[in-house]
Amino acid sequence: METPLRVLVVDDEQDVEWLFRQRLRKEVRGGLVDLHFAHSGEAALDYLRDGEGASVVLVLSDINMPGMTGLELLKRIKAAYPTLPVHMITAYGDEATHQVALAYGANGYLTKPLDFVALKREVLGL
């Protein structure tokens, strides 16, 4: 069995965890995806520094969060882990924010509501 794709989802909204677990349940059960969650930018950085977090291969982060924003988190992840892919997620698809995310090193930019079929195919490669 191949190693599951370890994904860290960062979003301050608790229901996002439920949504990802529901929409990717077949992939999780099949051992294709291993989902982990952080509800703040600070918690995400702590997780990535942790031994278990070192095996994360993809970060999906909301942009609009209290405290550390997703864009600040993106900058900090790219400074510490330059090769770790980070895709930003936002409910507000404005072009200026999109350009800032790309300038900070985002590997992708997704808008809510998420298209999980496209996410599986284009981002997760499933």
Indicate the CATH number for domain 5-115.
3.40.50.2300
3-state secondary structure of 86: strand
pLDDT value, residue 10: 98
Q: How do the domains of the chain map onto residue ranges?
A: 5-115
Q: CA torsion, points 84, 89, 94, 95, in degrees to nearest 10?
A: 20
Burial of 56 (0-12, 13-18, 19+ CB in 10 A): buried
pTM for the structure as a whole = 0.95
pLDDT value, residue 66: 95
Over the chain (126 residues), what is each successive 10-residue block's mean pLDDT?
89 95 97 97 96 89 96 97 96 88 95 93 90
